[in-house]
A and B are shown apart, each in its own frame.
Chain A
Amino acid sequence: MDKKGLFKSVERKTADKLAPEERIKNHQEFYLYQDYKAIQKQASRCMDCGVSFCNYACPLGNSLPELNELVVEDNWEKALEILLETNNFPEFTGRLCPALCEGSCSLNIDHGSVTTKEIELAIIERGFEKKYLKPIKPKYRIGKSVAVIGSGPSGLAVAQELNKKGVNVTVYEKDYEPGGLLRLGIPDYKIEKNIIDRRINLLKKEGIGFICNTEIGVDIEIHKLIESFDAICLANGFTVPREIKAEGNELKGIHFALDYLKQQNLFNAGKALKNDPINAKDKNVLIIGGGDTGADCLGIAIRQGAKSIHQIEILSKPPKERSSKTPWPYWPYMLRKNTAHEEGGERSWDSLTQSFKGEDHIKSVTCSKVKWETVDGQMNMTVEEDSNYEINADLVIIAAGFIDTKNYDMYETLGLEFSKRNSILTKNYMTNVDGIFAAGDLKNGPSLICKAISDGREASKSIYNYLK
């Protein structure tokens, strides 16, 4: 019996979720994942295309048709082996990745893409469950050492890849536990932190050293590291948020998204907070920024018990279906619903923040409507006349993206070069300083988790060649 290419008889089905009213009661993950048999059925839809569009779209280059087939064949262990060849942390991407692969899936033209993301997650989770997952220890050490600064997905990928090849790796993390944005930026309901702990424990067993609560350039001078290590990889992210330069932005009750998200995660982890908690309970909340970070804030605010939530976005509302400007096989530009949007809140587009109002504490925000036009290929914005309107808000979260890296002192000491967009310039992952490399958002600007891991993997190759 042919068990492949069954897209005609098997319909696409993704995991169910706990009902919004149920899931907002806590900060736990809420997907009701399908059992392995159902996952196999989904995998059987894959056509094993002659040109793997999914594989092409995946920044990691996951060999999805191969994985799908092995899952259908019930060979999960081999599937895991192949998955781990390209993806260090499928349990992260399986939860957090936007799944570019599915956007480019050939079946996405007419039949609904294969649920590759869930299949990937099933492979890794089954791997943990069946204890297929073992620490990957190098056969021998090559007598070289590397310091990785930052323990987000990119830094972790660099660390694991180098460690596999016998390099001694020490990861420095400024916060209390490794994980970076994974641990402190992304809400627990998207990824529970024991998932990260599980991985960190494995990495430790593989022989990777972690030094936390240590900010390089603050707690330890970078030159110390330069003296002690054969190479250094900077992977400490791109975390300086964009401000809203408008009147009244100094008022109390206006916070940046990352601060908001981080304190909730710390709270969930039972950690003491340095400042007063930012709590949306019974408040009118305005989230400025319609992206994923904004949506994460929305989810948290709902869980905290906000009275009302409004999320505004300066750009126009995307079309419901794939835009003709991004035809298949490109990543479709279209309206996406974050799970948080199922849970509540109101969204507006074409909304420009004009000013923040209030005395001492924020009371309301004045916005106006804007219009977008394409002129000579450039998007031009004009503010509509007399379109001002007020939104009552006693808590404002700014989720308008990230514009810069931190640690200027350290970078200056090193004499690093930057791009116009404030990311660090590299040549084949090495900065202009010999032996100092950079990877992840720090080098690319803010991007997706799959790209961060992919970048870490690529950086590790360059570092390894440097060490040789």
Chain B
Amino acid sequence: MRKQFIEHGAYKPEYESDNCGVGFIVDKNGRKSHKMIDDGLSMLNNMAHRGAVGYDDQTGDGAGLKFQIPHDFFKIELGEALPSEGDYAVGMIFLPLTPDIRFECMATIERVINESKLEFLQWRNVPINTTAAGSYARSTLPEIHQLFIKRNKVPKNDFEKELFLLRKKIDNAILKIDSEYIENFYICSLSSYSIIYKGLLLAKQMKAFFLDLQSTAFKTAYIVVHQRYSTNTSPSWKLAHPFKYIAHNGEINTIKGNIQKFESKKENLVSKVFGDELIGINNIIEKNVSDSANLDNIVELFTIGGRSILHSLAMLIPQPWENAEHLDENVIDFYKYHSNLIEPWDGPATIIFSDNQYIGTKLDRNGLRPARYYVTKNKVILASEAGVVEVNDDQVLSRGKIKPGEFLAVDLENGSLLLHDAILQTFVTPDYTQLIKDNELKMKISDEKIEEDQTINQKQVSFGYTREELKRVIAVMANEGKEPILSMGTDTPLAVLSEEPKLLFDYFKQLFAQVTNPAIDPIREKNVMSLRTTIGNFKGLLDGKVKDQESKFLAFEHPIVNNQELKSIKALMDSDFRSITIPMVFDSDLMGSGLEKGLELICQRVEKAIENDFNIIILSDKMIDKFRSPIPSLLALAAVNTHLLNKKIKTKVDLVLETGEARDPMHIALLFGYGATIVNPYLALNTIDSLVKDSLYIKELTAKDAKTNYIKALEKGLLKILSKMGISTLNSYIGAQLFEIIGLDQAIVKAYFSGTSHTITGINLDIIAKEVYIRHENAFFKDEKIKKGSELHYKKDGIKHLFTPEVIGKLQNSCRTNNYHEYKEYSDMINDSKKSLITLRGLLCFNSDRKPIPIESVEPIENILKKFVTGAMSFGSLSKEAHENLALAMNSIGASSNSGEGGEDKDRYYTNKKSKIKQIAAGRFGVSIEYLNDAEEIQIKVSQGAKPGEGGHLPGKKVVGKVAEIRHAIENLPLISPPPHHDIYSIEDLEQLIYDLKASNPKARISVKLVSRAGIGTIAAGVVKGHADMILVSGHDGGTGAAPMTSIKNAGVPWEIGLSETHQTLLMNNLRKKVSLQVDGQMRTGRDVLIATLLGAEEYGFATAPLVVSGCIMMRKCHTNKCPVGVATQDPELRKYFKGKPEHVVNYFTFIAKEIREYLANLGYMSLDELVGRSDLLKRKDSINHWKTKNIDLSQILFKPKLPKSFGSKHVEAKALDNVATLDDQLIDLLKTDQLKEQIKVTNTNRSIGTKLSSYIIKNKIKFDEQQVFNFKGTAGQSFGAFLTSSIVFKMFGDANDYVAKGLSGGQIIIKHPNNEKETDILVGNTTLYGAIKGKLFINGQAGERFAVRNSGAISVVEGVGNHGCEYMTNGIVVVLGDVGDNFAAGMTGGIAYVLNKNPLTESKINKDTVSVKGLNSVDESILKELLEEHVALTDSLKAKSILEEWNYYSNLFVKVSSDGYDAIAEDQGLENLVDLQGVKKIG
């Protein structure tokens, strides 16, 4: 079944990715026990919520265990035949169920073993109880056998290597068996010391399924466990973790580039260990498995190849070293050296690794996954969450967590625990420093002389520059050093639909992180970002440093070079570096064939140059003239890159682009994404020279400064594009192809961009050549001037826009005068794709299977109106008048409006002005328990169409009046929204947030807003498994109050693609019936709604159109606060000009509904419901082809799978997961009965404690005279005390996991260490107090990463925090009595942190971009002292006690971290008035 989707539908298996819960337990002394198995299983069970369950509610996405070979057990099983421990290996193998194929596999394996140095012993059929598994798991169940192999004469040290080679040979041999069933063949493990049991199971099913695990003889000294939550839609047995060396919670974002680069290096693998044994092994990196499996492959290769597993992982997942000043020089040089061997495998990761010497954990450079550990007297227990194995408090020696980029390991040979620094010592040596010293070269750059380009005008025309671009893009970057900011969405045609010639760049769209991994904030978290690239590579990928093999390399901190720097590169001609320039030109008269020839010629020349020992290839389009047209730089680059990869000579050269074509960050990102090392945008730079000379658009800047600014802006934009995908280093972005293509012919994609996602086909080389030719002819034959350009702003006779003056006029007037006839004129203009083909749906038309019916029999307008919503637009981006206008209108017709991010005025709650949909976004502004309880739907905005993967920055001047008030912000202080939700780094985190929100308002439905992109269906499947009730698929063209240009234009794809992929993927997995689908993105007319319905949508969002109805005239000036019609402004003067009326909006929606009824009658259907997913009623219009659209194939979008009726094709099941947070039901009862609320025992599976309780209190408007105190004991699950309301006090004796006090809404939380002496112990996990509004939190221990992130007003005392503490904080007080972690106070604009400055490194860890560090004044001192006294009273903190005892000494050691703006306001208004000190004063 899956096959039909892959072949004909929009779903592609490579979109899958996974996240999970992981952990290990190890006995430090190596004592084997059966209890270890049980402990591992209970660990797995306690993380069950981090895994996912499929449609049958019994099939997990996968669970697995790795442990030592249970020799005693096998001895019983096999008897005398079993050799002694270490002399044999066991393979755990999945075999096809079909007997003949299975036997062929077994015979093949035996044959291959016999051809090796090893000896086949026997097979063992692993006893299983299939009834323990879910129905889907059973239907895909393989035969599970164990294979026993004897070491024979192979030396002990070589045993694992031989097993590795054997396994690769077996895989190869099996692949040759011609049967589709061999897909089920998989070797889970083949080792002499460990074995893996895994499958498509739930944690609780493991023991019942694998009967072996029930035997008490089954013993091990360590166990690795993994619970999988895959966005993977058809999870499979083999993709369950652990893999042979690692188990992974996270995602490798750079996987495509990593694999490609490895493949190109493979030919040069020289190795002392392997000799030539690797030759002919072409499956070192396995195909068609997951990113984690591939990472396992490479760890395995390096580890067997001779490095320790610790060393291997340090190379692959280096800690951030590029900007880390406090790191040891040798360590930096170690990383520098290895960065030249291999680029980082980048992405969020907790890696649990193990081989026969070490077991341990490594975290990614940004610490985006949790990893908590307990060291007990005998064991080390590490897992994604604390408290997953029951341990007596008195057994615990320490509680900790792994820091970003760091390690922890247990050396199994001598039973020692190694922390990060000790681990580094095992492989870092001064040799690396010497190597770097000997080999790293710096370029010498002389001062630039400006040379006038005589043909600049022709080049500008030939490359399609426009005046608009000069002014609005290039000059803005040159003036301001950053990308231009625009507002509203894009309404111009997709490149392939445009009748204008477009740049090849325009056919590509950026990918972005969404749910399965977080975007990074490249500004506030720049410490983890790096654009460093190098020219020249070290050899010896496998053997490590081999001195005489080393070669020089050139390091570039800035990969975008100016013309002078390029000259220096061009001049390189010595024994180390030889550069050659190869023109990217072709004879455009010959169209496609000329282009093809041109590309071939370039490839040949590059190959020749490599033969002649050139190692820097500069591809250049500078030499164009009348007879030589430029080859699109991306195409030339991709062709060369592909050619070099095919010829396996990629590693011999670096590719440098000298191009006039690239000029904005998107262009630059594409060039790096397809393999460039250095880019020189010479024409843009020359253009800046000429603009400065003519003082046109650039003023008061020298050419030099203007160009420096411009390059800076490009780099900032590039960093943003990387970070959107969750990637930190350019090195790993190069060649990673993180784009998708819309509208290129299959052949082109296959030939030059294979590996890039691609949904609809389109133009071929002929058309690409023609596009170049048209521009080139204008430039060199017609002597045309640079065009005015109208891609961003509508201009007459320019590029088509959906919103033209006529359209706006007709829309406004028809709705103001309630004139349906005029509305129809408007809708005809939008729908007439003959005149303006802008959207994909313009290519579609209806093709009903029924005859028209009378309109009277169609469902009434009222039914249809309920399916409409207005888009999320915050109060803040819209004026009060405009925002309330939409709410009033929608509420009056039974439809819904959306609050947008940023909260809502309390006065609107429970009135007809309320927004029924309350949004929560990454900034969490205004998200309180009251806000959530006023909602009928709570929408998690994962991404926004105009700027997916990006945060926001609301300048201080806009934070005034009500806007400030409802965001709980301080007037005039800027507000920064982070790019990701800091409580959603992965799919299981989203599940947790949904859980929180369901607890926060059990009546509301929960929706998740995603943006259309390749792979959205897979993500959506994960979201459904996370129990969302509705998924909103947003088109790329959605609006915004402010976003960078390249995001508005180049990120995401049209909803037609995303919606169909989502609908199809959910259907394929029988998940469609569990969720409702909504769509938005430039929805305009009834026809749009019909098409959306046929492609699978049930609800429809409109934003720009109802705004226009309300008076918006598409000024695209929202970001300036100068909207002259009072729609998108907070200026009280301008707000007066708002003329919208709710009736106008009602008229608009009524018109649409009326129009829909007409369509329904014509199609012969009575209701929209009947048409959901009926893509068979759509067909591609033939009548509107122009030169570029002829070959567009929409069949993937229109694909309608053949499925059984039981697979509902629309939402039919009731609201998901109604029964959450059951512990809270007890708390509510306790509240009612007034019993003692003492010592309630909790474990990590008790999640979101207190949230449902708070909702109950708010919903029932309960007021308390005194505080209600609850006492807990143990380990609290995630989101302890989330959204806790006032009057509730939680005392926790023990520890807690991530998201403690999230959205704290007035409640108070105390977390007290069971043993006071351990102030350095970690007591709470990551992302504490996220978006907290009010309340208090006392912890007498350490907290993890991002403590008090986006705190809006809570007060807290903690004894140490991890990295990024107080990030984006806007108010409140945080007292830190210990370490502050790296990057403290980044983006903090308000509030105060009092930090005990005892560690000399403390100050250097504070990010001073928005704050400064100063001494305490008397007010500060008294507040601090009072808080410390309270801390002692509540937690018995020894540390605070000792500080108070020596107050005179310590008070001088404290520093105050705050923004100068905040200080000034605090001085003005009194700190007590800014922070609610009184309201939550003493805990009784």
Q: Using a CB–CB distance below 8 Å, which chain A residues touch chain B?
A: 5, 7-8, 47-53, 55-58, 61, 63, 65-66, 69, 73, 75, 78, 82, 85, 104, 106-107, 109-111, 139, 324, 327-330
Contact A8 B1134 (CB under 8 A): yes
Residues of B within 8 A of A61 (CB): 795-797
Residues of A within 8 A of B130 (CB): none
Residues of B within 8 A of A69 (CB): 471
Rounded to whole angstroms, the CA-CA distance of A382 and B1123 in the bound complex is 47
Rounded to whole angstroms, the CA-CA distance of A107 and B795 in the bound complex is 17
Residues of A within 8 A of B1179 (CB): none
Rounded to whole angstroms, the CA-CA distance of A111 and B1137 in the bound complex is 10
Query: Which residue on chain B has the smallest CB distance to residue A138?
Result: B783
With known contacts A7-B1124, A8-B1134, A50-B488, A75–B696 Cβ distance under 8 A? yes
Contact A47 B1117 (CB under 8 A): yes
Residues of B within 8 A of A327 (CB): 809, 812-813, 816
Q: A63: which of B694, B699, B795, B1122 is its contact (CB, 8 Å)?
A: B795
Residues of A within 8 A of B788 (CB): 63, 66, 82, 85
Contact B809 A110 (CB under 8 A): no
Rounded to whole angstroms, the CA-CA distance of A58 and B795 in the bound complex is 11
Query: Which residue on chain B has the smallest CB distance to residue A2?
Result: B1120
Query: Which residue on chain A has the smallest CB distance to residue B1122?
Result: A5
With known contacts A8-B1134, A50-B1116, A106-B1115, A66–B808 Cβ distance under 8 A? no
Contact A106 B1113 (CB under 8 A): yes
Rounded to whole angstroms, the CA-CA distance of A52 and B1114 in the bound complex is 9
Nearest CB of chain B from residue A203's CB, rounded to whole Å: 21
Rounded to whole angstroms, the CA-CA distance of A171 and B809 in the bound complex is 41
Contact A49 B793 (CB under 8 A): yes
- Let me know if B693 is at the binding interface, CB within 8 A: no
Rounded to whole angstroms, the CA-CA distance of A48 and B805 in the bound complex is 14
With known contacts A49-B1116, A51-B793, A73–B699 Cβ distance under 8 A? yes
Q: B804: which of A8, A56, A65, A110 is its contact (CB, 8 Å)?
A: A56
Rounded to whole angstroms, the CA-CA distance of A339 and B795 in the bound complex is 32
Residues of A within 8 A of B785 (CB): 85
Contact B809 A52 (CB under 8 A): no
Rounded to whole angstroms, the CA-CA distance of A51 and B803 in the bound complex is 8
Contact B805 A56 (CB under 8 A): yes
Contact B1124 A47 (CB under 8 A): yes
Query: Which residue on chain A has the smallest CB distance to residue B1126?
Result: A110
Q: B1114: which of A51, A58, A109 is its contact (CB, 8 Å)?
A: A51
Q: A78: which of B696, B793, B795, B797 is its contact (CB, 8 Å)?
A: B696
Rounded to whole angstroms, the CA-CA distance of A407 and B1255 in the bound complex is 88
Contact B1124 A110 (CB under 8 A): yes
User: Could you pull out 19 A-B pairs where Cβ atoms are within 8 angstroms?
Assistant: A5-B1117, A8-B1134, A47-B1124, A48-B1117, A50-B487, A50-B792, A50-B794, A50-B1115, A50-B1117, A51-B804, A52-B796, A56-B794, A66-B788, A73-B697, A73-B699, A75-B695, A85-B785, A85-B788, A327-B816
Nearest CB of chain A from residue B839's CB, rounded to whole Å: 18
Residues of A within 8 A of B817 (CB): 324
Contact A52 B1133 (CB under 8 A): no
Residues of A within 8 A of B697 (CB): 73
Residues of A within 8 A of B1120 (CB): 5
Query: Which residues in chain B, 938-996, are within 8 Å of chain A measured between CB atoms?
Result: none
Nearest CB of chain A from residue B806's CB, rounded to whole Å: 8
Rounded to whole angstroms, the CA-CA distance of A69 and B1124 in the bound complex is 18
Instruction: List 9 tightest A-B contacts by C-beta distance, closest first.
Output: A50-B1116, A56-B805, A51-B794, A61-B796, A51-B1114, A53-B805, A329-B809, A50-B1114, A110-B1137
Query: Which residues in chain B, 775-790, are within 8 Å of chain A measured between CB atoms?
Result: 783, 785, 788
Nearest CB of chain A from residue B413's CB, rounded to whole Å: 68
Query: Which residues in chain B, 1110-1139, are within 8 Å of chain A measured between CB atoms?
Result: 1113-1117, 1120, 1122, 1124-1125, 1131, 1133-1134, 1137
- Let me know if B467 is at the binding interface, CB within 8 A: yes
Residues of B within 8 A of A7 (CB): 1124
**Apart from A47-B1117, A73-B699, what 8 extra A-B contacts exist at CB < 8 Å?**
A48-B1117, A51-B801, A52-B805, A82-B467, A104-B805, A139-B783, A329-B805, A329-B808
Nearest CB of chain B from residue A80's CB, rounded to whole Å: 13
Contact B809 A330 (CB under 8 A): yes
Residues of B within 8 A of A328 (CB): 809
Interface string of B673-692 (1 = CB under 8 A from A): 00000000000000000000
Contact B1113 A51 (CB under 8 A): yes
With known contacts A106-B1115, A110-B1125, A8–B796 Cβ distance under 8 A? no
Residues of A within 8 A of B803 (CB): 51
Residues of A within 8 A of B793 (CB): 48-52, 65
Rounded to whole angstroms, the CA-CA distance of A50 and B801 in the bound complex is 11
Interface string of B474-503 (1 = CB under 8 A from A): 000000000000011000000000000000
Contact B1124 A51 (CB under 8 A): no
With known contacts A53-B1113, A66-B788, A328-B809, A47–B1122 Cβ distance under 8 A? yes
Residues of B within 8 A of A66 (CB): 467, 471, 788
Query: Which residue on chain A has the smallest CB distance to residue B699?
Result: A73
Rounded to whole angstroms, the CA-CA distance of A43 and B709 in the bound complex is 29
Residues of A within 8 A of B694 (CB): 75, 78
Residues of A within 8 A of B805 (CB): 51-53, 56-57, 104, 329
Query: Which residue on chain B has the smallest CB distance to residue A330?
Result: B809
Query: Which residue on chain A has the smallest CB distance to residue B812?
Result: A327
Nearest CB of chain B from residue A93's CB, rounded to whole Å: 16
Rounded to whole angstroms, the CA-CA distance of A58 and B796 in the bound complex is 9
Nearest CB of chain A from residue B137's CB, rounded to whole Å: 54
Rounded to whole angstroms, the CA-CA distance of A139 and B782 in the bound complex is 11
Contact B794 A52 (CB under 8 A): yes
Rounded to whole angstroms, the CA-CA distance of A50 and B1048 in the bound complex is 14
Nearest CB of chain A from residue B1294's CB, rounded to whole Å: 57
With known contacts A5-B1117, A8-B1134, A109-B1124, A51–B808 Cβ distance under 8 A? yes
Residues of B within 8 A of A109 (CB): 1113, 1124-1125, 1137
Rounded to whole angstroms, the CA-CA distance of A49 and B794 in the bound complex is 9
Nearest CB of chain B from residue A104's CB, rounded to whole Å: 7
Rounded to whole angstroms, the CA-CA distance of A78 and B797 in the bound complex is 21
Nearest CB of chain A from residue B801's CB, rounded to whole Å: 7
Query: Which residue on chain A has the smallest CB distance to residue B783?
Result: A139
Rounded to whole angstroms, the CA-CA distance of A50 and B1104 in the bound complex is 14
Rounded to whole angstroms, the CA-CA distance of A109 and B1127 in the bound complex is 14
Nearest CB of chain A from residue B385's CB, rounded to whole Å: 49
Rounded to whole angstroms, the CA-CA distance of A69 and B472 in the bound complex is 12
Nearest CB of chain B from residue A135's CB, rounded to whole Å: 17
Residues of A within 8 A of B1131 (CB): 8
Nearest CB of chain B from residue A365's CB, rounded to whole Å: 41
Interface string of B1091-1120 (1 = CB under 8 A from A): 000000000000000000000011111001
Contact A47 B1115 (CB under 8 A): yes
Residues of A within 8 A of B1122 (CB): 5, 8, 47
Rounded to whole angstroms, the CA-CA distance of A324 and B822 in the bound complex is 14
Query: Which residue on chain A has the smallest CB distance to residue B1118?
Result: A50
Residues of B within 8 A of A50 (CB): 487-488, 792-794, 1114-1117
Contact A52 B795 (CB under 8 A): yes
Residues of A within 8 A of B813 (CB): 327
Query: Which residue on chain A has the smallest CB distance to residue B794?
Result: A51
Rounded to whole angstroms, the CA-CA distance of A324 and B803 in the bound complex is 22
Contact A8 B1133 (CB under 8 A): yes
With known contacts A8-B1134, A329-B809, A49–B699 Cβ distance under 8 A? no
Rounded to whole angstroms, the CA-CA distance of A110 and B1111 in the bound complex is 12
Q: B1113: which of A49, A58, A65, A324 is its contact (CB, 8 Å)?
A: A49
Rounded to whole angstroms, the CA-CA distance of A7 and B808 in the bound complex is 22
Query: Which residue on chain B has the smallest CB distance to residue A75?
Result: B696
Residues of B within 8 A of A58 (CB): 796
Rounded to whole angstroms, the CA-CA distance of A110 and B488 in the bound complex is 22
Nearest CB of chain A from residue B614's CB, rounded to whole Å: 42
Residues of B within 8 A of A5 (CB): 1117, 1120, 1122
Residues of B within 8 A of A53 (CB): 805, 1113
Residues of A within 8 A of B792 (CB): 50
Nearest CB of chain A from residue B495's CB, rounded to whole Å: 21
